[in-house]
């Protein structure tokens, strides 16, 4: 039975009987990152009995786990935080345009306290499985510690870049030195001083940590598989005057985020690179190279991300930048991407990255020329030689977008495991639900999220909250979607990436960074305003594409 339309009410009576059982909830949210905390706040505010579970010992999500040296925003700090709360906006002070991990973690702890979320957060708790009980219409959620919870609604807010992945290269168990993954970085200080260190991976995480390792290590070996188009972050401090201005213009900043495809204050220039002379075009590229953050990616000529030859002109400009910053011409050429153009993958931002390769204690190892064959007791064996190492840093990224969800071993109706259901790529309707997985919602999951994540997940959080209230108020026991609705959304999602320059890249957005993973587009390329419009339209049409059962 389809729903007849959303209700305006936000208060729901919670039966006393349920309150008596401390393992039974209206909703369980997984993930204490920026999205999960917001989802908890909304459900708590609506009067539901809700618990948030997180494997970490603190809140913060990716900003809890990725505590490696150099981790910081690539979005403007004030564009990433919560806009819904005037108190948070007025009380928090950002100190840098692109805040570092410690500051972001402090902000999310501040938000958790200020919003009164702590009583409903259970930390140090990793979900081991979630199984839908068709008779009771509840999810049975188990944890690695053996706890069992029952919940009507199960909401994943686990992030799209939070299931770390390692190379399939054998022998890590033989290796006797220290090793770390950037996304599982310990709280204790890690010293590189006087050590021979390998960093594997040159994506955003690798590019951020490498200068810090290079500063202290006796020798750093950078194991690079694919070079990236890396541009300067040009970070700067936020003065008291500027912070006052940010607060005063907060609403305008928010509106700029809401209207931009990426959910950021940046929008592409209203001109093509061919509207100007090559000299004027290169002058614009130079301006963008000196500009802060992702301006190069998000504030460029309109055709850079769409037209091959426009894109090639920027690639030539950036390649010359690398050549001008790296002394050894052979090393410089190895650092210049040849398999993709700028913007086909999310570009890492750097601070002194290329100059690292001018240091005598740094060696660039191309795993294309010299594949890694095994980890050994002493280090890494390649086809050419053994590298003896005191430490290996894996900056090897994630089983992106779906890995963090499927690793929870979710089983829907008819004993259907979600990881099998998604074997050929995610199937969702509006990125919110999958057929035969009733009352399971994804916020910040596949086929929905791209750009500045909190700007799109805040819309999902509100949507999911209203949908849950609608279910409860109308006495339904289940909301789910249909395979027909999923097919329609899949077609729309795939149509949106077809023919774009991104479509041909080997990137985590297609899962192609993970060996053996089937290629499927995991995000949504229609832009945040269009996504927002799509989910609003479905709701306004009486939750079209969703099915409600008593």
- Helix 453-473, helix 528-540: angle, nearest 10: 10
Segment lying near ligand N01 (by CB under 6 A), choices 223-231, 269-277, 476-484, 539-547: 223-231
User: Measured from the CB atom, is 161 or 472 closer to ligand N01?
Assistant: 161
158 contributes a contact to ligand N01 by CB under 6 A:
no
CB of 392 closer than 8 Å to CB of 175: yes
Nearest to 354 by CA among 289, 291, 285: 289
Q: CB atoms < 10 A from the CB of 22, how many?
A: 9
Provide, rounded to whole angstroms, the least separation between the CB of residue 153 and ligand N01: 28
Q: Give every CB contact of residue 29 below 8 A, 6+ residues apart in sequence.
A: 36, 39, 40, 43, 50, 51, 52, 53, 155, 157
Q: Which residue of this chain has its Cβ atom nearest to ligand N01 in the complex? A: 203
- Measured CA distances, 115 to 39, 42, 112, 481, 540 (Å): 12, 10, 5, 32, 29
103 belongs to the binding site for ligand N01 (CB under 6 A): no
Q: Does 205 participate in binding ligand N01 (rule CB under 6 A)?
A: yes
Q: What is the DSSP string of 68-123?
A: STT-B-SS-HHHHS--S-HHHHHH----BSS-BHHHHHHHHHHHHHHTT-GGGEE-
Query: According to CB under 6 A, which one of 203, 431, 451, 454 is a site residue for ligand N01?
Result: 203
Candidate list 508, 531, 546, 548; residue touching ligand N01; CB under 6 A: 508
Between 402 and 481, CB nearer to ligand N01 = 402
For ligand N01, give the closer residue by CB, 151 or 231: 231
What is the pattern of x (binds ligand N01, CB under 6 A) and - over residues 224-253? Answer: -xx---------------------------
- Least separation in angstroms between residue 398's CB and ligand N01 is 6
Contact 105, 482 (CB under 8 A): no
Nearer to ligand N01 by Cβ, of 449 and 485: the residue is 449
Closest CA to 161 of 294, 59, 62: 62
206 touching ligand N01, by CB under 6 A? yes
Site map 48..77 versus ligand N01, x via CB under 6 A:
-------------------------xx---
Q: Does 264 bind ligand N01 (CB under 6 A)?
A: no
Q: What is the biggest distance separating any 2 CA atoms in the chain, rounded to whole angstroms?
A: 73
Residues 284-313 that bind ligand N01 (CB under 6 A): none
Nearer to ligand N01 by Cβ, of 367 and 411: the residue is 367
Per-residue contact flags (x/-) with ligand N01 for residues 390 to 409, judged by CB under 6 A: -----xxx------------
Burial 406-420 (b: 16+ CB within 10 A, else e): bbbebbbeeeeebee
Task: Give contact residues for ligand N01 (rule: CB under 6 A).
Answer: 73-74, 161, 167, 200-206, 208, 223, 225-226, 346, 349, 367, 395-397, 508, 513
């Amino acid at each position: 039975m389809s729903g007849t339309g959303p209700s305006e009410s936000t208060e729901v009576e919670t039966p006393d009987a349920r309150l008596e059982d401390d393992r039974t909830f209206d909703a369980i949210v997984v993930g204490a990152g920026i999205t999960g905390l917001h989802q908890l706040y909304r459900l708590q505010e609506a009067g539901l009995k809700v618990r948030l579970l997180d494997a970490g010992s603190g809140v913060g999500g990716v900003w809890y786990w990725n505590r490696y040296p150099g981790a910081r925003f690539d979005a403007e700090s004030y564009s990433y935080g919560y806009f819904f709360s005037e108190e948070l906006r007025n009380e928090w002070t950002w100190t840098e345009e692109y805040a570092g991990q410690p500051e972001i973690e402090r902000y999310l702890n501040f938000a958790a306290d200020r919003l009164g979320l702590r009583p409903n957060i259970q930390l140090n708790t990793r979900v081991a499985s979630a199984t839908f009980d068709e008779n009771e219409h509840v999810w049975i959620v188990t944890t690695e510690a053996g706890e069992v919870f029952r919940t009507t609604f199960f909401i994943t807010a686990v992030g799209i870049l939070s299931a770390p992945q390692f190379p399939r290269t054998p022998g890590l168990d033989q290796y006797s030195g220290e090793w770390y993954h950037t996304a599982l970085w310990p709280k204790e200080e890690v010293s590189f001083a006087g050590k021979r260190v390998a960093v594997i991976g040159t994506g955003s995480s690798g590019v951020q940590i490498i200068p810090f390792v290079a500063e202290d290590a006796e020798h750093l070996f950078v194991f690079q598989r694919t070079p990236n188009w890396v541009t300067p972050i040009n970070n700067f401090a936020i003065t008291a005057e500027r912070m006052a201005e940010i607060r005063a213009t907060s609403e305008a900043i928010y509106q700029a985020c809401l209207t931009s495809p990426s959910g950021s204050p940046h929008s592409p220039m209203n001109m093509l690179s061919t509207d100007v002379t090559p000299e004027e075009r290169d002058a614009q590229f130079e301006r963008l190279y000196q500009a802060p953050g992702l301006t190069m990616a998000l504030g460029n000529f309109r055709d850079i991300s769409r037209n091959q030859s426009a894109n090639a002109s920027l690639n030539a400009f950036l390649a010359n930048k690398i050549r001008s910053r790296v002394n050894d011409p052979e090393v410089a050429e190895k650092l210049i991407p040849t398999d993709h153009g700028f913007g086909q993958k999310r570009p890492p931002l750097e601070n002194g990255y290329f100059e690292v390769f001018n240091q005598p204690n740094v060696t660039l190892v191309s795993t294309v020329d010299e594949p890694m064959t095994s980890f050994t007791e002493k280090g890494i064996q390649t086809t050419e030689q053994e590298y003896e190492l005191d430490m290996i840093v894996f900056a090897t990224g994630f089983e992106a977008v779906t890995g963090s969800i499927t690793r929870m071993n979710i089983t829907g109706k008819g004993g259907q495991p979600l990881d099998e259901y998604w074997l050929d790529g995610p199937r969702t309707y509006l990125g919110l639900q999958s057929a035969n997985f009733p009352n399971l919602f994804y916020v910040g999951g596949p086929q929905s999220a791209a750009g500045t994540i909190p700007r799109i997940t805040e819309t999902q959080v509100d949507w999911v909250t209203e949908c849950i209230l609608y279910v409860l108020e109308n006495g339904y026991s289940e909301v789910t979607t249909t395979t027909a609705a999923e097919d329609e959304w899949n077609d729309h999602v795939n149509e949106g990436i077809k023919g774009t320059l991104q479509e041909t890249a080997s990137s985590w957005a297609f899962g192609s960074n993970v060996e053996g993973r089937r290629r499927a587009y995991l995000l949504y390329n229609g832009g945040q305003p269009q996504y927002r419009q799509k989910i609003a339209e479905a709701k306004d049409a009486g939750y079209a594409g969703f099915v409600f059962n008593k």
